[in-house]
Structure 1
Amino acid sequence: MDEEWWQCNLRELETVNKREETLSNMYANINKQSALPINRQVIELLLRAPNLYECARIVKGEKEQEQEQVVNLAIDVLRSCLQQLELDIQDAKLPELLSLPLTHSNPAVRSLVLGNLLKQLRSQREPKPLPSTELLLYVLDELQQPETQSSVIAIDILNLELTNWLTDSGVQSKLLQLLQRDEMVCCRVYELAVMLAKHSAASLSSVEFILDAALSELDNDDVLLMSSVMEILVPLAEQNHGLSYMERRRVLDIISSRVERIDENPLDALILPSIMKFFGKIAAVQPQKIIAGYPQMLACLFQLLESGDEAMLPTGLDTLANLTSTVQGKLLMHQHFQSAMEQLLRKYSTHLKNLSPPLKIRLLNSLDVIYTLEGMPSSELNTILLGWYECFAGGRQVNHIMELLHTPFPDLQLAALGLLKTLCQYPWGITAVQQTAGAIEFLLSRQQDLDKDVKYLKWQIMQLLSVSSEFTPTEIVRFTAYVNEGPLYQQTVVNIATEGQGSQ
C-alpha cells in the first residue's frame, strides 16, 4: 500500500458512518504487512493524523456500543503503529510526533503511548538522556490527569529520565505549577520526588524544594493527607541520607508530638496506623534512633497492641515486628522496654485465643519475625528470646501453637507451623516441642487431609528434630526415617484376604 492509499483512508475517517469499516481495513493492512513493516513515513503520517485521534475520542451521549467499537479499532491502529515504529528516544522529532496522543482526552491513548515509551527506556543497554525537555513536559502533565494507571507509568518514566533535567528552569517551573494543584496531584509529585531522592544525597538536594513541600503537610489538620504523605515518605526514611534530611527538618519530632497531644485532637487517632508504620519502617534500619529516641512512640505502640482493637492491630503487629527484626532492635527493646515487652507477650497469648483467624495469622507472623535470627544467637540474646517465649507461652511448652494446628484453616496451620519451625532453631524450642504432649505424634502423623504446604512444613521441622541431640537414638532413627520418606509420603494399607473370603 502506497502513501496515497493511507491518505485516502484518513480522509474517509471524516465521515462518521464510515469509520468502523475504514479503521478495520487500516488495521488489517498494517498487520498484514507486519512481516515486512510499512514505510516509516506512513507510520509517522498516521501518528500525526488528527482524524485518527478523533476516532479514539470518547463522546458522551453517543451510542455506547457503536462508539466503543470505533474507539477500540482506532487504539488498535495506534498500537500497531507504535509497535512497528520502535520509538527512538534520541529522535529530536519524537516530542512533535507524540504530542497528539500524549495530550489526548482518552486516557487509554495516553497510557498506550506512555507504556511504549517506558518500554523503550527500560530496554536501553545504557541509559541515554532525552535530547530535550519537551517530551518530559508532556509526561509531567500526565500527573495532573485524574486517571491513576497512566500517572503511574508517567512517574516510572520520570524516575528514569528526570534526574538529568532537574536543574532546568522549565522543568522546575512545571513542578512548581503541579504543586499548586489539588492534593492528588501534589501527592504524585511527592512520590516522584521520593523516588528520585532515594538514589543519592545529590538527587535529594535537587528535589529538596518538593520534599520540603511534602514535609509541610505533616503539621496540618488534614489527617488523611498527612497519612498519605507519611506513606509516601517511608522509602526515603529507610535511606541514611533521607533520614538525615528528615532529622534536619525535625520530622520525627513533629510527628511524635502529634502522638503526645493526641487527646487534644481525637481525629489524630486516624493517623496512628500511618505513624506507627512510618516509625516502624525507620526502626527496621535505624533501631537505635527510634527505640532509644522516641519512648512516647513506643508507649503508644504497646498501648495500641494491648487494646485488642482489630482495626489498629495489623499495623501495630507489623510495627513491633519491624522494631525487633534486627539483633540490635531485639537488644534495645529488652534494654529499654523489658517490662512492657513481657507484659505485651503475655497479652498475645490471650489475643491468640480471641482474635479472628486472619489476625491470628498476622500475630503469628509477627512473632515469627521477633524470634527469627540469622546465625547463632549470643548467650544474652538467647536468654532474652527464651524469656519472651515463656511470657507468651506461659511456660516452655508449645500448647498454644498445637491448638492452632487442629483448626480447619490451612493458612492458620501454616502460620503456626512457621513459628514452630523458627522456635526449633533454638535448643529450648526443641525442648518445648519434646515436652508438649501430642506434639511429636502430630508432626510424625501422615494425615491425608492436610494441605500439602502444611505437610512440607511438618517435614522441615522433623529435619531439625532429626539432627538434635535432645532425643534418644531410637527417636532419631524414627525421625530420620520420616525425613527420608519425604513430605508427601503416603502409607500403604495392605488388605490380607482370609481363607473363605473369596467364595462369599
Structure 2
Amino acid sequence: MAASIESLLQEISGVQDPIEELQSLKTALLSIPVSSLRDSVSGQRLHVIFSLLNSNEREQVQLCVDILERILMALSPLQVVQSYRAELQGGLSHPDQTVKILALTQISRIVGHPEAFAEIVNNDEVLRAVILCIGEEKMGVAKQAIQSLSKLSHSKPGLDKLFQTGLLEVMKDVAAKSDVIRYRIYELVVEVASVSPISLGYCANSGLVSQLLGELTGDDVLIRATAIEMVTTLARTQHGRQYLAQQGIMDKISNMIRGAETDPFSSLYLPGLVKFFGNLAIMDSPQQVCETYPAFQNKVFEMALDPDPAMTGVALDTLGLLGSTVEGKQVLQKTGEKFKAVLSRMSQLASAGETALRVRSLDAMSQLLSLQPEQQTDDLLALTESWFLHLSKHPMDMIRHISTQPFPELHCAALRVFTAVATQPWGQRSMIGTPGFVEFVLDRSAGQSKEAKDAKFELVGALACSTTAAEILGGQHFIRLKTYLREGPYYVSAVAAVGTEGAE
C-alpha cells in the first residue's frame, strides 16, 4: 500500500486538474488504519499536496485538507514541525477556514509535545499568525487558535513568550478590533489564568485581567453579562477566587445585585450575577456566602417567585445547586416561610409550567431532597421529609402523575425525584403506602427510550441497594427489585409465540 500511495502522489504532481487523483489518494488513505499509515507515509514528501491548497477550486482545497489531515495525524508532532513548518505557517493566513483549522490543529499538537514545543515557542512569526486567527470572522478558527495558545501557556517558556514579549501587544491590538474579539482574548486569558497561581500572575501583570474586571461595571449591559460569565469561570479555581476577593469583586457583584432593582435592563445580567454566587457557594461554603452576601440569597428567592421564566429557571438551578449539599440544605431551612413559599412555587411549576421549567423544577427537587446514606441523620431525614410533604397533599401521586405524561424529559426528571427519596426510610414508607407504587416501579413497559430505562434502573438500584428497603417494602417486593437489578435496564421477558406451529 505504501507503493500505491507513493505512485498516487507522483501522479498528482504531474496533473493539471488533479481532482480525480486526489479523490483516489483520499480513498486509499481511508482504507489504511492510522497506525499502519504511519509506516506508509513517514518517508513521503507532502509538499505537492500543500501546494495544491493554493487554488480557488473549493473541491480541490477540501480534498487536500482531508488528505493532509489523515496523513499528518499519522506523523509525530516533531516530524510535522520539522518537515512542514513553513507550510503550516502559510496555512494560518489561507483564505479558506478549513485550511486554517488544519494548521491550527497541528500547531496545537506540536505545542503539547515536549520535543516539538521548542520549534514553535521560538518562532514569533507563527505565534503572531496564531494570535491573529483569534480575530477571524469564523468562530471555529478562533476557538482552535485559543486552544493552541492555551496549550502553549502550560509551561513557563510559553507564558514568557505570550505575556512578556511583543506578542502581548499583538494580543491587545487584536482585542481592540471589536467587542466580540475582545471577549475571545478574555476567554484565552481566563483559560490560562485558571491553570495555576503562576499563570494567573502573568495574566494579571499583563493588564488584561483588570481590563476584564473593569467591564463588570461598564455601560453596555450585554458586555457586562459576558464579563460576569468570564469572571465566574475564573472563580471556579481556588487561586482565582482568592484573587477576585483581593480585588473586591465579590463585594462589587453583591452591590450590583442590590442595584439591579433600579436598573430596567438588569434582567440581561442579573442571572449571571446569581450564577456567580451560586457557583461560589458550592465551591466554598453555602453558609458563609449566604451570610456574607445576603443580597444573593434574597434575590434567589425573589427570582424563584418571578413570573419571568428566565429569572425563575436560574433561581431553580441555583437553589438545586445550594440544596445539593447538607450545609446548603441547612441554610435554606433556616429561612423558614420564605423557603416554603419557594417549595410551593416549585410544585406549581412542576405540575403546570412550561415543559423546560417543569424539568428544572423537578431537577431542583431531586437535588434538594437527596441525602447520601452517611448523611441520613434524624434531623436531616426530618428536614427532607418535611420539604417533600410541603410539595403537595399527596406528593407521591403528584410526581407519579407527572411521570406518566407523554414527555420523555418529564418522565425521567420525575423518576430522578423518586430516586432521591428512595434511599431514605420515610421515602420507602411513602412508596409502600401509595397503592400500586411498587408495581409502577417494576413495570418495564412505561418509558421505552434508553434514557427512561436508565432512569428507572437508577430508581430500582437505589431501592434494591438500600439497607432498610427489605424491611420496609417487604421481602416479596425486595426480591423482585433485586431480580430487576440483576436482569439489567434493557431486559425484555420472552413471550411465547402463539401460532400454527405452536398449535401443532
Place the TM-score, normalised by the shorter chain, in its bin: 0.7 to 0.9
Aligned residues: 474
TM-score by length of 2: 0.81
The 1:249–1:129 alpha-carbon spacing in structure 2 relative to 1, beyond 3 Å, is farther
Corresponding position of 1:225: 223
Q: Which residue does the alignment assign to 1:212?
A: 210
- Separation in structure 1 between the aligned mates of residue 263 and residue 146 of structure 2, nearest angstrom: 35
The equivalent position to 1:192 in structure 2, one of 183, 188, 193, is 188
In structure 2, C-alpha distance between the alignment counterparts of 1:272 and 1:174, rounded to whole Å: 34
Q: Deviations over 1:7-26 (max 9, x none)?
A: 9977x89xxxx444597499
**Distance across 2 between alignment mates of 1:126 and 1:176:** 27
Give me the whole-angstrom Cα distance separating, in 2, the residues matched to 1:389 and 1:249: 42
**Could you tell me which amino acid in structure 1 is paired with residue 54 of structure 2?**
E
TM superposition score normalised by structure 1: 0.81
Q: Which moved more, 1:249-258 or 1:192-201?
A: 249-258
Corresponding residue number in structure 2 for 1:62: none
Cα distance, 1:289 vs structure 2? 4.2
Cα distance in 1 for residues equivalent to 2:93 and 2:82: 18
CA distance in 2, matches of 1:148, 1:307: 35
Partner of 1:64: none
- Relative to structure 1, the CA distance from residue 70 to residue 492 in structure 2 (aligned partners, 3 Å threshold; closer, same or farther) is closer
Q: CA deviation at 1:205?
A: 0.7
Q: Which residue of 1 aligns with 2:54?
A: 54
Q: Which residue of 1 aligns with 2:146?
A: 155
Q: CA RMSD in A?
A: 3.8
Write out aligned runs for 1:133-282 (5 A).
133-134=123-124, 135-162=126-153, 163=155, 164-167=157-160, 168-208=164-204, 209-282=207-280
1:398 aligned counterpart, secondary structure: helix
5+ residue gaps, structure 1: 58-66, 497-501
Judge conservation of contact 1:283–1:290 (CA < 8 Å) in 2.
yes
Change (3 A) 1:80 1:482: closer
CA-CA distance at 1:97 after TM superposition: 4.1
Q: Which residue of 1 aligns with 2:408?
A: 410
The 1:352/1:46 distance shift into structure 2, 3 A limit, reads closer
Secondary structure, counterpart of 2:384 in structure 1: helix
* Shift in Å, 1:237: 0.5
Q: Is the 8 A contact 1:110 1:150 kept in 2?
A: yes
Change (3 A) 1:127 1:425: farther
Q: What is the aligned partner in structure 2 of residue 392 from structure 1?
A: 391
Separation in 1, partners of 2:327, 2:320:
13
User: Structure 2 matches for 1:386-465, cutoff 5 A?
Assistant: 386-394=385-393, 397-445=395-443, 447=445, 451=449, 452-453=453-454, 455-457=456-458, 459-460=460-461, 462-463=463-464
Is 1:382 matched with 2:381? yes
Aligned counterpart, 2:62 = 72
Amino acid at match of 2:419: K
Question: What is the aligned partner in structure 1 of residue 46 from structure 2?
Answer: 43
Partner of 2:299: 300
Aligned-pair distance for 1:275? 1.9
Aligned-residue offset at 1:305:
1.0
| Identity across the alignment (%) | 22
What is the deviation of 1:468?
A: 2.4
Partner Cα distance (2:347, 2:171) in 1: 51
Unaligned runs of 5+ in 2: none
Return the index of the structure with the highest Cα Rg: 1
When residues 127 and 420 of structure 1 are mapped into structure 2, their CA distance, relative to the original with a 3 A threshold, is farther
Alignment of 1:317-396 (within 5 A): 317-335=316-334, 337-374=335-372, 375-394=374-393
CA contact (8 A) 1:291 1:333 kept: no
CA pair 23-302 structure 1, distance change in 2 beyond 3 A: same
SS in 2 for 1:393: coil
